[in-house]
Structure formats: structure tokens, C-alpha cells
Chains A and B, each alone.
Chain A
Amino acid sequence: MKRVLSILLAIMIIFTVVGCSGGEKADSPQTDTTVTEKEGKESDDKSDEPEGEEDPILSDEKPELKILTYYTGFNMEEQPSYEVVEEMTGYKVKWFNLPQENADEKLLLEIAGGTSYDLLMRMSTNQTNQLYVQNALVDLKPYLDKYGENIYEGISDMSLEALTDEDGMIYAIPHEPFDEPQPGDNPYGVLKGGIGFNSTYLEELGKDIPKNLDEFYDVLKAYTDKTGKPAFTQSAVGWNNHILAAFGMGDPSWYEIDGEYVHRIKHPKAVEYLAFMQKLYKEGLLDNDFPVNTAETAKEKFANGTVIAYPVMFWSIDSIYNAFEAAGLDAKVKVATYLAPDAETDPVVYIRQGILNTTCIPKTAENPEHAINWFNTISDKDNFEKIYLGEEGDSYEIKDGSYYPIFPAFDDFTNSDKFTGVAPASNVFQMWQARARKTDAMAEIYDQMNSRIDEYKTEYYYENYAASLEAVQKNKMALDTMVNDSLIQAIVDGVDPQKAIDDIIEEWDKTGGLEYEEAMKNWYKENKDKFN
């Protein structure tokens, strides 16, 4: 009897479970139909619209917009910019955030579950691409043509083209970074970090700030010889871009070598770079604990005066000076920016071009026209400046062509970049620099880093445009991690650098590197002519 009961129970439960999942399946086409119906309605609406001046979208009551954006450490609605934008556009906005972790999965779940956001703002290119592949995005072209005049003005053709498919569908609006100069712009300000040196220790050694690889080695060697301590520390990274610069590389992962597009692991100078890092490690100049360093522990060793050098970014300078003071060090930081190979060769700085993130509209949106109209309003040149920096003389000022913040008014603009549309102004990069000069120490170090910018050769790189290629998304992250880990291993083990690089390349080819390379090479061949 008992057994019969359990079997019956099991069967009942199975039926319930199957019933449930069946219900879900039945649900999804329903959602699709709603979407199609809605789209149908929309197109009908459009054809019914009179061709006159009175566009109800622009004149009628404005609905509350639901906008999903990426993770922000703050509530968008608590920011001072929130009200500025509301007043400017006349739209009330309810902001939603993706979580910091598993954002991609969460986004797909939200959209597949049918949540109706009017705008997905600042999604990664990867996220937009996934939604596009799932056919979950609206073609923005008709809306942009009608309501997006400022948006068109604010984006480069190349970025727009990257988000337009073969059928002419624009599936997302690109956001280009504000913190990089455009080709032809004044590159002053592009250097934001480097290898920071403790000025007191430099003076004690009687050395100047190193500009090339030999000088760099020379300073480190002198410090370790004198103190017996490691001279340089960093967190667990295999590629140090400031040192790589001396080997003809830098921030980019890809380089054109003799007409071929090559990843840096296959760069002819990769072996030399590894040999140099091994030498630093073996001679104890590079902190032997660096493979287990976190960003914090590496910073500690520099801030409490153990090492003479550590990679710094301009914005961490105030905390370093506070720490110097707490540790009883009377020192400043002198920065060695991207190193030159030798005294005769000019150093090179690579400037990133590409799409930082993207804004799109899901098919489940209830107010796509209003969303574009809203985005267009915040992308207006004057409105952009007002949201981003406020009023000149009130929250910022221009001294000798450079932008400086005025406090306390500028405090309201700390996170204002999250409220801006696309950047229509040509001097966005100069405007961004107000943020780099928030404190005297930051301004000083930022200007110090850029004081030698004239000596630098500038090269623009465009690999970020390829970020949404399928082969790149599939392989890049795992390969980057593999290369990073193997490089650290090789630096520590001190094995023959040529063999170490060969081994990494073998692993690279085996684990998707060839597919990634082929995609990048084809993309480069097709798009090379568009690069300046």
C-alpha cells in the first residue's frame, strides 16, 4: 500500500512539474506575440500619424521612463544630476541597475522575462550584441531619423557603423570614451598613469626620473644594491604596459607587424620583454611576492616606503600622500610614463579609440519614441555641458585652456558622467580633465605626467571596435587570463624566455587562440582603411 502511494505521489509530482514547465513554454510565444502585436501597432501608429508639426511625442504629456543602466555604486535617483536632467527633459525617469556580478545573465533574464524597460543605457558591447542576436532589440533608425538629430551629431561614423547590421538596422547607440583625445586633438592629458617613484629615495640615490629602459633598470638596481630591499612592486600582472612600451608595445593587445595583425604574445619583442622581467625578478629588483600581491598590498609596500617604485594612476595620489605622512615619509611621487627603448628613440603612447558602451531599446519597451527623445535632449551640446560640468564660473573654470573644477559646487558632478548622452562637443576630452584636477595633488601629478607629452609619438588603436565579434567574446577573456598566469609563472620560474613564450603560444593555439586571431586579422583587413 505504502509503495503504491509513493508511486502515485511521484507520478503526481512529475505531472505537476511537467505542467509547470509546459506553462512556461506556452508563455514564451505569448510574449513574442505581444511583442509582434505591439510592433504592428507601432507601425500602424506611425502610418496613421499626420505629417504635420504637431507630433504628440514632442508636445503631449511625457510618460515616466524606465531606464536600466549598468552597475553604479550609488542610486542614480540620489544624485544631484538626476533633478537637473528631469528639469531639462521634462521626463521623470525611474532608474534601474544591473547587478555588479553576473550582469550579462541578469540582463538576458530580465529581457527574456519580458520586463519592459524603455531604454537600456550604457550596456557593454557584449551585452548589446547578445540581445541583438536574440532578436530582442528595436531598430533605432526610424526613431533616430525622427527624434535623434543631436545623437547623430554626437557619434562618429565609425562607431555608428559598428552597431549597424547588413540590413541597415541600427541596434544600439555608441558611447565613446570622454577621457581619450580624438585623432587630431591635442594629446595633452592622455597620460594618466605610470611608474611612480619615491622622490626622496631618488634624491638620495642621486638619480633622475627614468625615461628609458636602461635608466629604469639603473635606478632600481641602485636602490636594491643600497638597501637590500626590492625596488619595484606591482600587483599580479604579467604585462606591465609602462615597461612594455620600451619593447614597442603598450596598452593595445594587437599590433601591426610587417602588414600582419599580431597579438602581443606573438610580437617579436615579447621574448625580450619576458627576459627583462625575469632579470628584474631574479636580481630581486622586482618584489618576489608580486604574484600574490593584491592591488592593496602592492600599494602598501610603496606607501610605507619599502620599495622605491610602483605603478600609480593620478587619482590615487592623495591616498598615497596620506599614507606617506602616516608612515613618516616626507616624499612626493615622480612618475615615469611609458618608457622609451633607449635614449635615442622617442617613446610611444597608444591612444584607445572605440566604443565604451552602448545604449539600446528592447522590443518590450513601452515608450521607445520618448526614450529616444529623452536621450536626444541630453545629447544636445549645451545640455551635455550643463549635465556634465555645470555652468562656467560656477562649478568649473578655464585657466590657460585647461578645465579646473570649482569646489564645493563641483561635488555635485562627481557622477554626472552617468547621466550624459553621447558627447557632441569637440572638446569633451578637455572638459573631462576638470575631473583629473579635483585636488591640488591630483592636478600636480596629472600635469607632471603630461609635461613630456611633446616628446611622445602618438598612435591610435582601434581593436576595441572588434570587441563584439563572436570569436573575440568566446575566447578573449580566457586567453588573456591564461597568458597573464603563464607569464607570471615564467617570470618566477626563470625558464628560458624563448621556450616559455613558445609554450604559451602552443597553449594559445590549442585553446582558441587561432580562432580569435583569425577573426581579428579578418576584421583588421576589412577595416584598416577606416583608421586614421
Chain B
Amino acid sequence: MATKQKHKISVFTIINVFILSLFGVITLLPVLHVVAKAFSGEGPVVAGLVTFWPKQFQTDTIKYVLKKPEFLSSFKVSLFVTIVGTAIAMFLTVTVAYPLSKPELKGRKFFLYIFVFIMLFNAGMVPNYLLYRSLNLTNTIWALIFPGAFSVFNMLVVKNYFESLPETVEEAARIDGASNMQTLYKVVIPMSLPVLATVTLFYAVGFWNNYMSGVLYITDPSLKPLQQYLYDLINEALETIDATGNIADIDSAMNLTGESVRAATIVVSTVPILLVYPSLQKYFVKGITIGSVKG
């Protein structure tokens, strides 16, 4: 019986592994293609000879991108926005979610209604623009941080997790004389690392990938976030040609960025956020294995 079951599982596993690997490879190939282009000479790239392995290997394009002042400034902006933004967002999320997770909070329903309402309905781009404009926040780094600094959805995820924690642990802390804040920071948060890691990742990726805030609130090129820089770079060739196929701005057309430099920029700007995943990975695992109430 046991062997039969084992056999069944292995067929399923084989198919499963095969399909998932196939899926993995399919998603990986375009990335490999771009990486190969980034490290190839311009000639093979233009001739379409590069598939998944660099030809005429070089690192000059990567060096060029890393030295380009526009790239560096956008990179710094995005790095700052991601780190500071995520910190602010996590602080707000946790401090809102914790009280809301307590059934004894007065007016809890009322506040929840408000949060759900703003999650479902929002004012839209133009009123938001006018708000930021009248707060004198346009063309400041905060215009890139505040729009993503709180997500009701993430807050609800954290709140639900807090609710699932056993009340007894907190009671024990209180008996030991811990205040509300101490309970939150010394007991609840360490027990909630899995959800916090997940939400941190959501926020960090959200900030890193944010493109709209830059388009909407920023005209100062030194505050342009990396994703907008990348988008512009990739699409700049389209802008030089009008609807009839004629070249509208010849000087811009003449100075278009080469394909391998474009690929290098994509590679360099994707690496930092990729690094976040493995560093948060351990919390996911830990979170599952740690048990807080024993016996």
C-alpha cells in the first residue's frame, strides 16, 4: 500500500516538476536573452545573432550605464523611495493593523468601514494631482513616497494575521507588565515575521516598480524614478517617428540609445530588487516552522 502510494506520488511529481520546470524555463528565457544582449557587442545584437549566450563578450555597456549620471540619479531616487517608503509603509500598516485586530477597540467597525471604503473608491488621478500640487509636494521626493505609503489591502492582511495569533501569549506579556507598545514590538511583531516579510516585499516591489507617480507628479529630471527612466529609454525610439512613419525629431533619432546599452540598463535596474527576495526568503520558512504556544 505504502509503495503504491509512493509510486502514485512520483508520477504526479514527475509531471508536476516537468510542467513547473517548463514554466520556469519559459519565464527565464527572455531574461536570459536580455542578459546575453547586455554583455554582447553591438554588432551581434544588431545582426540578431545573440540568443541566450553573449557574443563578443564585453562589460563596457554595463560600465557605461553605471557611470551615466541620469541612470545614477534615478537609481538613487528609487533606492531612497524604496527603503524610506517601505519603512514608512510598514510602520503605518502595523500601527493601524494592530489596534484594529483587537475586538475590544471602540469604534473598530466604523474605522474598518472607512478603510474598506477608501480601498474600493478613490478620487482618481486628477484630484490626487491637485491635492499634491496644493500641498506643494509635486517635484519633491515625497510625491513618490506618499501615494504608496499605505495600502488598505496589506493592512487587512496583517490585521487578519494578528487576529490569528493566540491571545494567551499577549496576556502572558501583559501579566509580566508589558505595555501595549511593548507587547506589539516585543511579542506580536516577532511572532508575525512571515506576514510582515510578505507585506514588506509587496511594499518594496511596489515602490521599486512604481512608474505612475513619476509621470504624474515629477517634471524635475533629477527626481525621475528608475522605472520611468527605463520606460522612457526603451520607448524613446517610438517617439521619434510620427504616425506616417516620418521622422519627427531627427536630432533625437540620431542619438538613440543602442540596443545593448538598453539591455544593460534593464539588467542593472532589475538586480537590486531581485536581491530582496532571497534575503526575505528565510523569514517565510522560519515563520512556518516557529510555533509560539507549546504544550
Contacts and interface: CB of A to CB of B under 8 A. Distances in A.
Interface of A: 5-6, 9, 13, 17, 20-21, 24, 27, 68, 71-78, 94-102, 106, 109-110, 113-115, 177-179, 192, 237, 239, 241, 251, 253, 295-297, 299-301, 303-304, 313, 315, 319-320, 322-327, 356, 414-415, 417-418, 435, 476-477, 480-481, 484
B221 A313 contact: no
B44 A323 contact: yes
B233 interface: yes
28 contacts: A9-B113, A17-B123, A21-B127, A68-B219, A71-B239, A73-B252, A96-B219, A97-B219, A100-B231, A101-B231, A106-B215, A110-B219, A113-B138, A114-B133, A115-B219, A315-B254, A319-B46, A322-B42, A326-B44, A326-B56, A327-B49, A415-B251, A417-B251, A418-B251, A435-B251, A477-B243, A480-B244, A484-B245
B237 A295 contact: yes
B56 to A, nearest CB: 7
Contact of A326 (B47, B216, B236): B47
A326 B216 CA distance: 43
Contacts of A95: 221
B215 A102 contact: yes
Q: Is the interface of B mostly helix, strand, loop or mixed?
A: helix
A484 B129 contact: no
B187 interface: no
A5 B69 contact: no
B126 A109 contact: yes
A21 B219 CA distance: 25
A177 B69 CA distance: 29
Interface size range of chain B in the complex = 35 or more
Contacts of A78: 69-70
B114 interface: yes
A151 to B, nearest CB: 21
Contacts of B214: 99
B26 interface: no
Given A178-B251, A319-B46, A484-B243, 18 more contacts: A5-B109, A17-B123, A68-B219, A78-B70, A96-B139, A96-B221, A99-B219, A100-B239, A106-B216, A177-B250, A253-B244, A313-B247, A323-B42, A325-B43, A326-B41, A326-B46, A327-B43, A480-B243
B44 to A, nearest CB: 4
A320 B46 contact: yes
A392 to B, nearest CB: 21
B51 interface: no
Contacts of B138: 113, 115
Residue of B113, B215, B219, B258 most packed against chain A (CB within 10 A): B219
Interface string B228-262: 10011101110100011111011111110111000
Given A251-B246, A296-B259, A326 B55 contact: yes
A241 B242 CA distance: 14
Contacts of B42: 319, 322-323
Interface of B: 41-49, 55-56, 69-70, 73, 109-110, 113-114, 117, 123, 126-127, 129-130, 133-134, 138-139, 214-216, 219-222, 224, 228, 231-233, 235-237, 239, 243-247, 249-255, 257-259
A99 B130 contact: no
B221 A75 contact: yes
A71 B247 contact: no
A221 to B, nearest CB: 25
Contacts of A304: 47-49
B254 A435 contact: yes
A401 to B, nearest CB: 22
Given A295-B237, A296-B259, A304-B49, A100 B232 contact: yes
A10 B46 CA distance: 60
Given A101-B231, A192-B250, A76 B221 contact: yes
Nearest to A110: B219
Contacts of B253: 313, 315
Contacts of A251: 246
Nearest to B251: A417
Contacts of A323: 42-47
A75 B254 contact: no
B38 to A, nearest CB: 15
Contact of B133 (A115, A295, A303, A327): A115
Nearest to A192: B250
A97 B216 CA distance: 12
A315 B228 CA distance: 27
Nearest to B237: A295
Nearest to B243: A480
A303 B109 CA distance: 67
A299 B73 CA distance: 33
Q: Which of B123, B130, B220 has the most CB of A within 10 A?
A: B130
Q: Pick the 3 closest A-B CB pairs, nearest first.
A: A326-B43, A300-B48, A322-B43
B235 A100 contact: yes
A24 B245 CA distance: 42
B252 to A, nearest CB: 7
Contacts of A327: 43-44, 47, 49
A164 B70 CA distance: 38
B254 A73 contact: no
A435 B251 CA distance: 9
Contact of B46 (A17, A299, A481): A299
A435 B138 CA distance: 37
Contacts of A326: 41, 43-44, 46-47, 49, 55-56
Contact of B251 (A179, A239, A322): A179
A73 B231 CA distance: 11
B26 to A, nearest CB: 21
Given A5-B110, A179-B250, A192-B250, A73 B127 contact: no
A327 to B, nearest CB: 4
Contacts of A76: 221
B191 to A, nearest CB: 32
Nearest to A478: B243
A24 B55 CA distance: 58
A483 to B, nearest CB: 9
A17 B123 CA distance: 8
A68 B138 CA distance: 14
B255 A73 contact: yes
A143 B55 CA distance: 58
A241 B241 CA distance: 14
B245 A237 contact: yes
A486 B283 CA distance: 56
